[in-house]
Amino acid sequence: MNQYSKSYIILTSILLMSLPIVNSSSVDSEVGHKLTSPVENGIWVNNTLEVNGSTTLPPQDADWALYDVTDPNIESSILASGEFFTSVTPIAEGLWIWSIVIDVSSFNCTCLLEVTQIDGSGEESLNRIIFIGEGSHSPVIIPNHDTSIIVDGEYVISSRAILADSQTNDSKLILNWCLAPNGACDGTLFDSEVNVSWENDIGTFSINVSSLGLDDGVWKFTYHLQDVYLRTSAEIEMTVFVDQTNPTSVLICPENALEGEMIVIDGSGSTDGVWSNNLQSIWYVTDPDGVIYLPTSNTTDEMLNIALSKSGNYTVRLDVIDWVGRMSSSNTTILVSNVPPIIDLHLEGSSVKNPNSWQFLQDENLELVAATIETGDDSNSLIYSWYLNDKLISTSVNLSLSDLDVGVYNLRLVVTDNDGAEDSHEIEVTVKAQSKSESNTFNIAAVFVLVGIIGFSIMIFRRMRMSENETSVLPKWDSSHKSNSANKETERVSENDIWTDEDSS
């Protein structure tokens, strides 16, 4: 870097540091900003406007515009604009000083200078009110509050006043208001001069509902600044929501309920005057054991649908809170009655439910499944007791009977819930022995069938062998048989012939 450049940077830095800062609030408000300027609001220039400052954003792109805001009732016009700083000088890594120089010799206005730089996806902007030309220049007031406020008793308003040729302590602030439930004034328009406390160019005043006679509702407020020369600023508008009434919490619900029964608790009757729609409801439930919890399911702001799972007294509380923080509570007590358990007994492999008697053979097993009907939390604490001839044999949910001697037994199931309520069911169980005669008969019959099968098989086998033998000798037997038959036939003929001859002679 040459000696000339170094001298330029040092000189520029000294000039920036030596700039007068009459109104430090304009600078303080920019602490931490990426685009700043020590130039105060309300400077008065005639020929050339020069504004300088610093930036930590790349200064290659910077938009600025000078608007005429003399008459706030018409749309502001652009008197001059540009896309670059007039000059930029780096003084450290990531830090630049800049200046904008504008010829304003032909302008006479109350103007707004707006400088903008792009910061990622957003914008960094800087605004200054500038009085240009001979005047006269009306005062400017800039609000430091929202356009909509909620008032409960008293609310403090803060604004910044910018005057060209007078002092803020010599000015007046005029307040106007009217009831505006639908956005526009409805009824009388009120006005009053407000006592303002000034600190440099920052003025504070309060809106007090009692002193201004404000009822609950929506009010439209405007205020403007009047300087010592009776010149007035543009009006600042705001909507004031007045709420100074405590809400009322109202509960409607049944006094009694059954364990596990779904009930509805209605809090829709809670009110806050004209602001009833802005109530926030919070439900609290205290169970019979003293445990407090916030129900989360089946709950809306105004209605609570809940199943109370324990027997005893429940306390339900509804807190309603309005938008200014006032709260009202109401309580109710609900007596929840216990529901006794109901036994639904099943036999494994059978569709029979809750039988009064059952028979099975000695070498068989009897499987019983206890499906109990219960409500609330009792289902997790039920006690099962199985008695065989009044002797406790099991405390499990299901029971398997086996290896019992032949005879008749009394089987009883007792189910008890956590409140001591119970249900029971008895079954007469008969264990039968297998019949011996039937067993012997079965064995003898089985032997006969087996012997018969063996005999039949032997007979078939022998017949098959005989058939084979007869087939092998049958031709010889037929030949001799035929020869013998022929001889016998010859003998018979001869004998006949003899008898015939004798008869003839």
Q: In the predicted model, is pLDDT for residue 108 greater than 70? A: yes
pLDDT bin (cut points 50, 70, 90) of residue 468 is: low
Band (pLDDT 50/70/90 cuts) for residue 146 is very high
125-129, 354-358, 463-467: which has the minimum mean pLDDT? 463-467
pLDDT above 90: residue 339 = no
Cβ atoms of 409 and 399 within 8 Å: the answer is no
Say which CATH topology domain 3-132 has: Immunoglobulin-like (2.60.40)
Fold annotation for 140-242: Immunoglobulin-like (2.60.40)
**What mean pLDDT do residues 129-151 have?**
91
Residue 150 backbone dihedrals phi, psi, to 5 degrees: -115, 125
Indicate the pTM of the whole model: 0.59
Mean pLDDT (the chain, rounded): 82
Least confident residue range of 273-287, 387-401, 434-448: 434-448
Q: Mean of the pLDDT values across residues 13-33?
A: 43
CB 338 within 8 A of CB 312: no
Q: What angle do CA 370, 373, 374 make, to 5 degrees?
A: 120
Go through the chain and tell me how many residues it has.
Answer: 505
- Fold assignment, 256-334: Immunoglobulin-like (2.60.40)
Decide if pLDDT at 7 tops 50.
Answer: no
Q: Is the pLDDT of residue 233 over 80?
A: yes
Helices (H), 213-368: none
**Measured between alpha carbons, how far is residue 275 from residues 186, 194, 217, 321, 414 in Å?**
18, 28, 8, 11, 58
The whole-number average pLDDT for the span 41-67 is 92
Specify the 3-state DSSP secondary structure of 495: helix
Give me the mean pLDDT over the 255-277 stretch. Answer: 89
- Per-residue pLDDT reduced to its tens digit, 65-88: 999 988 777 788 999 999 999 999
For position 122, what pLDDT does the model report?
82
Highest mean pLDDT among 290-299, 338-347, 467-476: 338-347
Mean pLDDT of 245-263: 91
- Domains in the chain: boundaries: 3-132, 140-242, 256-334, 345-432
Cα dihedral 458, 463, 466, 467 in deg (nearest 10): -150
Count CB atoms within 10 A of the CB of residue 475. Answer: 8
DSSP single-letter state for residue 203: E
**406-428 mean pLDDT:** 90
Domain 345-432, CATH number (from 3.30.70.3290, 1.25.40.10, 1.20.140.10, 2.60.40.10):
2.60.40.10
pLDDT score recorded for residue 222:
95
Among residues 6, 71, 64, the alpha carbon closest in space to that of 39 is found at 64
Rounded CA-CA distance 277/15 in Å is: 59
Rounded mean pLDDT of 225-237? 92
Lowest mean pLDDT among 33-37, 53-57, 114-118: 33-37
Cα distance between residue 235 and residue 221, in whole Å: 10
Q: Do domains 3-132 and 345-432 have the same CATH topology?
A: yes
Instruction: Give me the pLDDT at residue 335, please.
Output: 95
CA distances 125 to 30, 33, 34, 122, Å, are: 10, 9, 9, 10
